[in-house]
Structure 1
Amino acid sequence: MSLTGTPFLVTLGVLCAVAVALPLALWSRVPGPRAARAAARLAMLLFVQATAVALVFTLVNNSNQLYDNWEDLLGTGDHVRTAADLGASGTGGIAVETLPRVRQTFEPGRGPGMRAEGGVLVTRLDGRVSGVHAEVNVWLPPQYDDPAYREHRFPVVELLPGYPGSSKAWFGSMDATEQLAPLMRAGRIEPFILISPRTNLLPGADTGCANVAGRVNADTWLSVDVPKMVMDNFRALPAPDGWAVAGYSAGAHCAAKLAVAHPDRYRAAVSLSGYNDPASEAGSLASRTPALRAANDPYVLLTRSPAPPPIALYLSGQPGDGYEAAQALDRAARPPTRVDVVFVPGSAGGHTMALWKPQVVPAFQWLSEVMTAEDAPRATPLARSSAGSTHAEPASGTAWPAAAARRP
């Protein structure tokens, strides 16, 4: 039975109701000696507690899409087949452009949000360079099958969840396609191809989107193998000008790091409540050694770069949760690096989907501004205002409220 499926949730609901009814009906009717009666009553109470905790956990998990299946929850899933030392380039000297074309088959995705706005396609990819074997979700914009766009190639945004987090979360909990598709049809934002690869690759470990020889090549999986597959199977613009990466929480850290580390692969990054130092995420493999920690810290990479990378960064955060890290990157940046920092007030809520979901539209508006489509007019910008903010709309919708404004 699927961890995130309706049958499992209904079963837990029924068990929870039964668990509450049992002591009400049997408490005074339990037979046997005193010790046996006490044990039976304790078992009924524990049954109530266990079913209630399981139901609440499942509701929270389904809402935030933290664990996609039982393997993820139990820490038994391993999606790494090999983890060779690929060197500083992350390719091990392989000329990726000379590799054979990746031919993939796709099937309709299942789960919350996966059927909305044309549906999400899912494939399982064997990463030829990274050694990772995992799923990749692909959503095509409304214009993709329009005959008028048959020669058009589309910009791509790679979407990364937090840790733990499901590769489906951007389509389910974040409602990305339902928010963006109407604006794409109206020409208000660019028609992006959205891809969301698995980032939970090792049992019970946050890879930090890093290459760790002998353990995992998560960076290469995300920045080499997945983009090649997309380019080989869809009408996607080439890197770097046609590619961006976006994430929230741990995925936000990864987004900024990937863009700063690989300006030859990405033109822009969106980071929602991210951090710079990999050690900010307890247990991150990217913080195992000082060298790994520095190699996966976007601030360190930016300050040590021989030349400022030609990338754009959208960084949003609250005080104590991403804002200071964004300011640090802003201070370190030099042209042509562009950094736009969005301050989100603490009153907007905590480190949850409810904070990040309203930021999807303004983030993609920004992406439409910094990334130019190959053969179509630029999207019409959404109107901005300096109207006062409310608790429910930090830097969201069609406004940039004064209390959630882009900071220079």
Structure 2
Amino acid sequence: MGLTSKKVLLLAVLLAVALFVLTIWLWPRLSKGNWRAVLGRVGLLLATQLSLFASIGLFANNSFGFYASWADLFGQEQQPGVVTNYESGPDGTKLKMLGTERVSVPGGSRAEVGGRIDKVLVRGAKSKITSPAFVYLPPQYFQPKYAKKKFPASVVLTGYPGTAEALYKKLHFPQTQHDLLREKKMQPTVLVMMRPTVAPPRDTECVDIPNGPQTETFFTKDLRANLSEHYRIGEKAKSWGIIGDSTGGYCALKMTMRHPNDFSTAVALSGAYKAPIDPTTGDLFGGSKKLERENDLMWRQKHLPAPPVSLLVTSSKHGEENYKDTLRFIEQTKSPSRISSIILDSGGHNFNTWRREIPAALEWLGGRLSV
């Protein structure tokens, strides 16, 4: 049974309840002062508390999508990472189709009503990175009226470590767009849902690491070119945006500000403005202070010309650590960059907060892309 299986969670809860009942029942028998009784009490308390912690941990993981599998949890990620000799798909493109999924909306079994989610492998010719992606094609993509039309697209990124599946199973990006389309608040947009962790288990913060994974090149060059070649998506920057939460939010802002010829629009849900350096990232900049500064968004605002892009940042007055930095980022934004924000009164760094922000953020994003 998988880490995110409801059966695993149910078994953990039942075990915790059983151990609690067993502790109450056996406690009078273990009230003696001999060493066997003491060890029995310690063992029961330890087993009960461990089972409770396991239940809470599994529930939190199922709710927020931190880890997708046991291998992911224990650092033995099995999804393809950096590959240098991957064969292209049978149709000659740089994508390999792995399967499709229906969208959980009314009538979702029909692509022209609910759209479709394609699971693909994207091979980067320049970055030499291969990574899976979930491509949501809106209903209009399959309707005769739009048969010759190209669509705008947005990369949708999780945080770290995150799982791409959480973007449609927990954060409901396709379902939210489906509602906005029905309400005529957004134009049909292809969503390319991914983890920013394309060289697992390392957190690359979407940086081209010297002598390491070229993550920024993968997203700004390879991904856009491959998707535009395979799907009816516009090739120019005005057709492409990025939206992400946490680490994905930093990536969205950073790549759009650094590559305005590739992306025109970015949304950062609770994003940071500088890449951390910790055991999960390692040395991102190879000792280069220049590269480190160029990836510091506050430094870029002060010392480099502003790019002609649209940016949306989110935070909350209570519950988010990035609140003061977000206000500072807004104040420092210079023309021709355009800045917008969503500031909640309260909300933590979690899925519940981002679900409150996503409808308005997608509507804003869709209004700024064109083909």
Pick closer, same or farther for the CA change 1:326–1:32 going to 2, 3 Å: closer
| Cα contact 2:253–2:311 (8 A) shared by 1 | yes
Residues 75-134 of structure 1 show CA distances to partners (whole Å, capped at 9, x for unaligned) of 222754369xxxxxxxxxxxxxxxx73142131359999x89445321233333223233
Corresponding position of 1:158: 155
Residues 38-77 of structure 1 show CA distances to partners (whole Å, capped at 9, x for unaligned) of 3233222222111111110111111111111222211222
Pick closer, same or farther for the CA change 1:70–1:189 going to 2, 3 Å: same
Moved more, 213-222 or 22-31: 22-31
Give the structure-2-normalised TM-score. Answer: 0.84
Which letter maps to 1:36?
A: R
Secondary structure, aligned partner of 2:41: helix
Give the structure-1-normalised TM-score. Answer: 0.77
Corresponding position of 1:92: none
Q: Structure 1 residue 300 and structure 2 residue 292: aligned?
A: no
Q: Of 314, 317, 320, which aligns to 1:316?
A: 314
Which letter maps to 1:342?
A: I
Task: State how far apart, in whole Å, the 1-side matches of 2:298 and 2:277 are.
Answer: 13
Identity %: 24
Which letter maps to 2:173?
A: A
Q: Of 93, 99, 113, which aligns to 1:107?
A: 99
Corresponding position of 1:91: none
| Cα contact 2:204–2:281 (8 A) shared by 1 | yes
Corresponding position of 2:89: none
Pick closer, same or farther for the CA change 1:312–1:43 going to 2, 3 Å: same
Task: State how far apart, in whole Å, the 1-side matches of 2:181 and 2:50 are.
Answer: 46
Residues 156-213 of structure 1 show CA distances to partners (whole Å, capped at 9, x for unaligned) of 1111112221112221222222222022134221111111122234555421111112
Structure 1 unpaired stretches of 5+: 84-99, 375-408
Task: State how far apart, in whole Å, the 2-side matches of 1:58 and 1:221 are.
Answer: 33
Task: State how far apart, in whole Å, the 1-side matches of 2:331 and 2:151 are.
Answer: 32
Corresponding position of 1:54: 54
Residues 284-315 of structure 1 show CA distances to partners (whole Å, capped at 9, x for unaligned) of 4446743342132223334443x432211011
Task: State how far apart, in whole Å, the 2-side matches of 1:131 and 1:16 are.
Answer: 47
Task: State how far apart, in whole Å, the 2-side matches of 1:34 and 1:359 are.
Answer: 59
Secondary structure, aligned partner of 2:96: coil
Task: State how far apart, in whole Å, the 2-side matches of 1:105 and 1:225 are.
Answer: 17
Task: State how far apart, in whole Å, the 1-side matches of 2:63 and 2:70 are.
Answer: 16
| Cα contact 1:76–1:203 (8 A) shared by 2 | no
The 5 A counterparts of 1:9-408 are 9-28=9-28, 34-77=34-77, 79-81=80-82, 101-109=93-101, 117-202=114-199, 205-279=202-276, 284-285=281-282, 286=284, 289=287, 290-305=289-304, 307-319=305-317, 321-345=321-345, 348-372=346-370, 374=371
Task: State how far apart, in whole Å, the 2-side matches of 1:118 and 1:19 are.
Answer: 46
Pick closer, same or farther for the CA change 1:212–1:276 going to 2, 3 Å: same
| Cα contact 1:250–1:274 (8 A) shared by 2 | yes
Pick closer, same or farther for the CA change 1:275–1:261 going to 2, 3 Å: same
Secondary structure, aligned partner of 1:251: helix
Task: State how far apart, in whole Å, the 2-side matches of 1:68 and 1:112 are.
Answer: 20
Which letter maps to 1:277?
A: K
Deviation at 1:280, TM superposition (A): 8.1
Give the root-mean-square deviation of aligned CA atoms: 3.0
Which letter maps to 1:296?
A: N
Task: State how far apart, in whole Å, the 1-side matches of 2:146 and 2:48 are.
Answer: 57
Which letter maps to 1:156?
A: A
Task: State how far apart, in whole Å, the 1-side matches of 2:313 and 2:167 are.
Answer: 18
| Cα contact 2:82–2:198 (8 A) shared by 1 | no
Task: State how far apart, in whole Å, the 2-side matches of 1:131 and 1:30 are.
Answer: 62
Structure 2 unpaired stretches of 5+: 85-91
Task: State how far apart, in whole Å, the 1-side matches of 2:103 and 2:47 are.
Answer: 29
Task: State how far apart, in whole Å, the 2-side matches of 1:110 and 1:166 are.
Answer: 18
Task: State how far apart, in whole Å, the 2-side matches of 1:291 and 1:25 are.
Answer: 65
Residues 308-362 of structure 1 show CA distances to partners (whole Å, capped at 9, x for unaligned) of 32211011223463343334443443332211233332xx222222221111111
Deviation at 1:33, TM superposition (A): 10
Pick closer, same or farther for the CA change 1:186–1:111 going to 2, 3 Å: closer
Corresponding position of 1:399: none
Deviation at 1:243, TM superposition (A): 0.3
Task: State how far apart, in whole Å, the 1-side matches of 2:126 and 2:2 are.
Answer: 31
Which letter maps to 1:299?
A: M
| Cα contact 2:66–2:163 (8 A) shared by 1 | yes
Task: State how far apart, in whole Å, the 2-side matches of 1:324 and 1:291 are.
Answer: 25
Deviation at 1:28, TM superposition (A): 4.4
Moved more, 273-282 or 137-146: 273-282
Moved more, 130-139 or 240-249: 130-139
Corresponding position of 1:378: none
Give the length in aligned residue pairs.
353
Deviation at 1:242, TM superposition (A): 0.6
Pick closer, same or farther for the CA change 1:356–1:23 going to 2, 3 Å: same
Secondary structure, aligned partner of 2:142: coil
